[in-house]
Structure 1
Amino acid sequence: MRRTVGGRFVVGLVVTALAVGTLGVVAGTGGASPAHAATAEPEAPDFASDTYGDAWDYTDSSDFNTDFSMTPATVAGGALKVALARGDALFLVHSISGSLPAGRDGALQPVDTAKYTHLTFSMDQPLAKHIGAVYWFSCREQTAACGGGFTFSTVQGPHVYDFDLTAKSNLLAGVPWKSAEMVVFRLDPVVLAESEGDTGKTAAIDWVRLHAAPDATHPHAGMPPGSYDGYTVTPRPQLVVDSPNQTQGQDLATAQAGRPWNFASAGATAKVTYSNTQLLSRDATGINARNAGPNQNDPQVHLPVSDFPGSTYHYLQFDMQYDGPFDLSGSPGGGKMARVIWNVSGNGTPQIGNDILTYSTGNQSEVSLDLTASDPLDEDAIAPKLGWAGRTITGVRFDPNEDPGQATWHLRSVHLRADPTATGVTNVTFHDNAWVQGTTAEVAVGTGAPGSAGYTKIASGVAVAQGVNSVPFRLGSLPAGKYSVQVTLRHPDGSTATSYANAPVVMKADTSHDPVGRLDSASGTTSGVTMTGWAYDPDATAGTQVRVYDQTSGSRSLGTVTTSIARPDVQRVYPAAPANSGWSLTVPLTAGNHTICAYGLNQGAGTTNPLLGGCRSVTVAADTSHDPDGRLDSATAVSGGATLTGWAWDRDTTDPLAVAFYDQTSGTRSLGRVTTTLPRADVRAVYPGAPLNSGYSRTVTLAPGTHKVCAYGINVGQGTTNPLLGCRSVTVR
């Protein structure tokens, strides 16, 4: 599968013909020579320093992708050197429509035109009476309608150029600088007339700054850090957050097959198959191959996978290079791009990913991109376009080089990774490419998107050393979840820089230091409940505390107990547990059904106070030992009623006890009360504590007929109820 995308690149690199006599804004600041500094000022915010953590000072090859120069260019000796020939355009911020943005693509990291309003650069060029040009584009297509810019007069020899980008825009559609974020920013060092052709000469650019406007704090905002005549510019941080990062998550091939797709290993890629590919050799750098028939422009690497969730494994990473220059034309030697194609569960239509640009040797590095960050599908993909996020992926194919020719390519590895994860704690690492003594760091984490509110500070005032620094991120009392990481550096001059990790980290709670245990039993009595169990906290030094709750309605603490009872059975399972890991607790409870739960109280590094096993249901019986005791011995019919006799007494009093009578023949009707006044030696013989006069007798009025009469002892003191002393049936004639 391939499409010719050469048109996209050609549109992006069109050089507008300019008359050499056309002059634009020029504001040379003059050369700066090292000297004793009379005043010091902090460096102004700079786009490359803030965005990449790497200023455009051309001390390393990553400062400029030479594939985005229309004439030969190199980064060497601390300068960007470009051949002065027609079309000598340098794309400082680049982007190409129809491709998945990765790396330093302007679609991923556009220029904030409200913040960075000035361009300053130092250039040494040998030609007299020429002009240069600056272009910007708010669209990846780089059409005239979304473009603007201006021309400027060049100076022969070394010179510092300084421009206010907001002052003028008279090229292309004249789109003003502050009208939108810019995804492409281009500098044409010297514009040559068509008759001049290749001059055979070179311009050298020492540094470029796309920076904030001068102000009282930054009067020399255009200048990089250093000492100049009468002033010194101190460096602001150039922060890079090294971890967590996209390469640290679980690898799909490792999860499914035990090892990653490392093409240097025949064993690791034994189940990988190839189409339209001629394998030439395998060495420590991977496989060396070239495109072959029948579809020479469509080499395919079929990756063996079992079904997997696309939202989990969503970082595509590959490491490859090819021989020859970067070219996106449809002719042999072009098509320098890769692609991923996949299948999803429930549909047979292949999902065709968009172009992934691959660059020439020296510009290419391992590509890492998020297939869920935006729509990864090709604009011309076959319907239905189902995408990657939220899908179950059933098959994956990687197309490394859509060149209709036979250029040799070299594939080292392919990965599909998940978000990095950590249990309990992980390390946030970072470095400052402009480090100075006295730099401090602040680290914060949040579950929202980078830049959103609600981040929690986990470290502040951290002394920053030169090189890689590390700050632990401990989950602690924070809830488990996915966290973005924010780092802010502060230099002694007060300048700051904030950056974010390029991947969130999924933090899981570390329960290895939490107490373990169990509520073995909860037994109800007539006065409360007795609970037993065991508990062990790896961090406890003098027993583990257990807190018990009654959760029948709400949650009510019943008390705390410390383990002190021998439990050899626990020590057999947990050898590090102390011998006395058992506990027992008895507490009073009201009569009724209760739900009892026990929790281990964490000590040390644990995360929570866990429930010890499950909760227990227990019934507490009523304590009737203080209720009245007695009996309705007889109910004898008499004229107009019945005589009721019996006995009663209450342990909480020696006074006569009241007895109430009820007719319960139909409903309940009170028949009055009587107190115990009659001697009952027989009762006292059985209940020595009962008073001698425990007997009672009462004649009650009843209508003719059969009645059910009942007697109740009236409780005094600690009893729970007025117990029934008995019922009798009596017929009144």
Structure 2
Amino acid sequence: MSARRVLPSLAIIVALTAALMSPVAAGEAAVVSVPEVTESADYASEQYGDPWDFERATDHPLVPGLNYLRTSNEQISNGRLSLHAEPQAAVYLLKSWEPGGVAWGRDGDDYPIDTSRYTHLAFRMYNSTPTNIGSGVFWFDCGLLRPECRGGATFLIKPGWNTYIVPMVNNGFEKEWTGIVRGLSLVVSTIEADVEVDWIRLYKPNPTEPTVITGEANSTVYWDLDTKKANNTPSNPNWGVVGTATGGELTFPASAYPPDQYYFYTSDNGAYSAPLTINDRPRPVVLDPDKAGGADYATTIRGDAWDFSQASDVASVTHIINTSTASGVFTGSSDGTSDDSQVWLSMGAPFDSNRFHRFVADVWFGGPFSLAAAPGGGMNARLVWQLGPGVYRVTDDLVVQPGWNHIEIDLAELTTEDIEGSHPDTWNNQTIQAFRFDPTEDPGVRQFKLDNIALNEDDRGNGAFAIRFRDDAWSAGTTARIYADADNTGYDGQLIGTMAVADGVNTYHWKPTVTGTRWVYTEMTDTSGATSQAYSTGPVQVIAAAGPKGVPNGALSATVDRYFDPSMAQLLDPNRTINTPTWLMQGWALDPDTTASIDVSFQVDGVHKTEVTAAMPRGDIAASFGLGPNHGFRAIVPAPRGATICAYAHNHVAGQPPKAIGCVTADD
């Protein structure tokens, strides 16, 4: 249900201009005032990069009790949502679990609605009710859809397929359509009925709309997605009534409709008009940096990711039975004796919570959805961490759903309200001793699967960063302007680059000139002039700015490993004496003027000790700089404990001064 951008031919423009200069004669086909328009700004497209068109299962997960009220037989197929509705049945389009729950996924706390931007709701829906019935759309400015936070706009539901356009104006309920809204529900029927929904749009109307000129006063005007009236049956959603052409013309509310080609005909003359194309707006999605972040604790510090490729990734479990790590997935079930199932993860050294704070997990649950404190309920997980002997912190509920859940949470954003109990501290500024995932609070037996768990740091840029993005409504000729911003609001950052947008994933190799936290956003413009913007879902920490052209760049790992201890020398060679330990130095270095590998030298307390060539493959460096992969190095450097070891990258042109790329202290 999308339309590519089209350029009207000269003949069409001339014909339309002539038509607008004089009325359409009776008996002739209707004429549309313009051949194309750009779709209006739509909440789901802009916030999720994914419109509510029911082309994907993610448009609205089929979880009764979570996203639906008083419904059954929910299905998404052929681009439509279908269900059986009991009286007062509702579809929850947006929901927040605050307070009492931690936001993740498409939670209204993470994706609130800006009521000043999106002012109308439109949807195309079928209802099997035989008569008109009252209904409404309701919004909530707090979590959990509480009545005291509710506003609403009422309307009539009609039999069959109809397009509904609802101005978001409160009709006597508690809250106006102002400020920030965190919950949105649509009552799809107030009596028992079968219901289908083709699309839903919460949108900002365009300033002008196209006009359909009929030449026949008071004729009924129809729209159609093809030119085959024979298939315009009551079960087909792809045609409908626009209205009555009083005075021989009427406005078509194109802002309400999704991108596609629309034809028009009248009740007096069945000839079709030329098409009106509603073109997709660009739909930018920034892939990196992102909310999932970069390197993870378990790989970086422990030396083994929590990927459950072996049983040792789990330190212990409590109230969990039937465990297995077959095929790299940890499988288990709550044991039916407690609502406190626990998975303690195997740890390396304690870590700084300010560094590793991005929780990412893929977890699957069997059984139905319920939050009841009874067998078959308890569909809420929790995170637990240890700060010291007997000192633990436990999050509020993470409401989960049957099937696979991909969970991403920035723990640095947790407030004291997200932590159980009365504690002045949150995740931040702590040393984490141990970490636990509680998958379910079902007091019965419920199976779950863990594919991976990670605690990641922010994405990091050390002189360079590969920004990746795509346009999910791509058309040829679209261009992107790429910005870096100190925050993720306002679209007021610094322009860092421009490029043509290709279909699929695009990569911009950014060489930042400043350090610090930077959010990235792209501004895409298509050939019709339509522009859309989108921020990254997470920041990049720029820890080193790019050097000027011709100056080598690189980084020395902050982690120092003792490679050889003198006390072991006699065991290997009784005739050899070594008085100084040696240390393993690792990192990368390159010269921006060449793809060739360069030399790296090492000094100990200012005295030259050794030199290596940075020629080891580093895929991450290739992706960031676009200069090939062979820029990594490893070196064994002798140095007494407590000495300062410094690394220097050498220009590929002889005679140029080297550049210091890092120093560490020889101390393990």
**TM-score (norm: length of structure 1):** 0.62
Alignment of 1:149-548 (within 5 A): 149-166=152-169, 168-171=170-173, 173=174, 175-178=175-178, 180-192=179-191, 199=192, 201-216=193-208, 220-228=254-262, 229=264, 231-263=276-308, 265-269=309-313, 271-284=314-327, 286-292=329-335, 294=337, 296-305=338-347, 306-345=349-388, 348-361=390-403, 364-375=404-415, 378=418, 381-446=420-485, 448-452=486-490, 455-460=493-498, 462-475=499-512, 478-509=513-544, 514=551
In structure 1, distance between residues paired with 2:591 and 2:543: 19
Please state whether the residue corresponding to 1:246 is helix, strand or coil.
coil
Structure 2, gaps ≥5 residues long: 1-29, 211-252, 265-272, 554-588, 595-606, 615-647, 664-668
Distance 1:500 1:131, change over 3 A: same
Matches within 5 A, 1:120-135: 120-129=122-131, 130-135=133-138
Q: Measure, in 2, the Cα distance between the counterparts of 1:537 and 1:157.
A: 66
- Return 320-329 or 115-124, whichever deviates more: 320-329
1:99 is paired with a residue whose SS is coil
Partner secondary structure for residue 121 of structure 2: strand
Conserved 8 A contact 1:349-1:384: no
Aligned to 2:604: none
Contact 1:279–1:290 under 8 Å retained in 2: yes
Question: RCO greater where, 1 or 2, for CA within 8 Å and sep 6 or more?
Answer: 2
Counterpart Cα distance in 2 of 1:217 and 1:608: 65
1:126 alignment partner AA: S
* Whole-Å separation in 2 of the counterparts to 1:442 and 1:232: 26
Is the Cα–Cα contact under 8 Å of residues 591 and 651 in structure 2 kept in the other structure? no
Cα RMSD of the aligned pairs, angstroms, is 3.3
Q: CA deviation at 1:410?
A: 1.4
Rounded Cα–Cα distance in structure 2 between residues aligned with 1:354 and 1:608:
56
Structure-2 change in CA distance of 1:418 and 1:613 (3 Å):
closer
Q: Measure, in 1, the Cα distance between the counterparts of 2:166 and 2:311.
A: 58
Closer, same or farther: CA 514–142 of 1 in aligned 2, 3 Å: same
1:93 aligns to what? 94
Deviates more, 1:34-43 or 1:418-427: 34-43
Q: Following TM superposition, by how much is the alpha carbon of 1:285 offset from its aligned partner in structure 2, in angstroms? A: 5.8
What is the letter of the counterpart of residue 154 of structure 1? Answer: I
Q: Which residue of 2 aligns with 1:79?
A: 80
Q: 1:153-199: per-residue Cα shift (whole Å, max 9, x none)?
A: 11111111111113x4234x2x1112x2110010011112xxxxxx4
Deviation at 1:268, TM superposition (A): 4.9
C-alpha distance 222-351 of structure 1, shift in aligned 2 (>3 A) = same
Given that 1:42 and 1:235 are in contact with CA atoms closer than 8 Å, whether structure 2 keeps it comes out as yes
Structure-2 residue corresponding to 1:631: none
Q: For residues 84-118 of structure 1, what are the alpha-carbon distances to aligned partners after superposition, in whole Å with 9 as ceiling and x for unaligned?
A: 21342101111123111111111111111000000
Letter in 2 for 1:507: V
Match of 2:49 in 1: 53
Partner of 2:223: none
* CA shift for structure 1 position 344: 1.7
Distance 2:120 2:141 in 1: 17
Task: Determine if contact 1:313/1:417 at 8 Å carries over to the other structure.
Answer: yes
Residues 53, 80 of structure 2: 8 Å contact kept? yes
Q: Deviations over 1:491-527 (max 9, x none)?
A: 22222111111111123336797469xxxxxxxxxxx
Contact 1:316 1:416 in 2 (8 A): yes
- State the 1:455 CA deviation: 2.3
Aligned to 1:372, the other structure's residue is in SS state helix
CA separation in 1, counterparts of 2:593 and 2:145? 66
Q: In 1, are the aligned partners of 2:317 and 2:344 still within 8 Å (CA)?
A: yes
Map 1:640-659 → 2, pairs under 5 A: none
Give the partner amino acid of 1:122: R
Give the conservation status (yes or no) of the 8 Å contact 1:243–1:428.
yes
How far, CA to CA, are the matches of 1:42 and 1:156 in structure 2?
31
Shift of 1:612: 12
- For residues 590 and 335 of structure 2, the distance between their equivalents in structure 1, rounded to whole angstroms, comes to 64
How far apart are the structure 2 equivalents of 1:117 and 1:613? 54
Residue of structure 2 in register with 1:113 after alignment? 115
Letter in 1 for 2:195: A
Contact 1:316 1:371 in 2 (8 A): yes
Q: CA deviation at 1:35?
A: 10
Unpaired runs of 5+ in structure 1?
Answer: 1-33, 193-198, 517-535, 542-568, 577-598, 615-733
Q: Percent identity?
A: 27
What is the letter of the counterpart of residue 401 of structure 1?
A: T
Aligned residue type for 1:505: V
Q: Which has more radius of gyration?
A: 1
TM-score, with length taken from structure 2 = 0.68
**What's the counterpart of residue 717 of structure 1?**
none
Q: 1:612 to 1:439 in 2, by over 3 A?
A: closer
| Aligned residue number for residue 665 of structure 1 | none
Q: Distance in 2 between matches of 1:298 and 1:147?
A: 34
Note if contact 2:336-2:444 (Cα within 8 Å) is conserved in structure 1. Answer: no
Listed as ranges, the matches of 1:638-677 within 5 Å are: none
Which segment drifts farther, 333-342 or 302-311? 302-311
Q: Any idea what SS the aligned residue of 2:47 has?
A: helix
Question: What is aligned with 1:640?
Answer: none
Post-superposition CA distance 1:228-259 (Å, at most 9, x none): 23632111122211112233411111122212
Q: Distance in 2 between matches of 1:503 and 1:495?
A: 26
How does 1:10-25 map onto structure 2 within 5 Å? none
Q: Helix, strand or coil for the counterpart of 1:317?
A: strand
SS, match of residue 334 in structure 1: coil
Write the distance in 2 (CA, Å) between the matches of 1:609 and 1:207: 61
Checking the alignment, whether the CA contact within 8 Å between 2:95 and 2:144 is kept in structure 1 is no
Structure 1 residue 127, shift from structure 2 partner: 1.0
Structure 1 position 217, deviation (Å): 6.1
Distance 1:608 1:227 in 2: 63
**In 2, distance between residues paired with 1:252 and 1:611?**
28
**Deviation, structure 1 residue 37:** 8.7
Tell me if the contact between 2:125 and 2:162 (Cα under 8 Å) persists in the aligned partners.
yes
Deviations 1:56-92 (A, max 9, x none): 1000011112221122322211011121213421011
1:452/1:131 CA distance change after superposition, 3 Å: closer
What's the secondary structure of 1:369's corresponding residue? strand
Aligned residue type for 2:153: F
Paired positions, count? 489
Indicate the SS of the match to 1:366.
Answer: strand
Q: CA 1:356 to 1:349, structure 2 compared with 1: closer, same or farther past 3 Å?
A: same
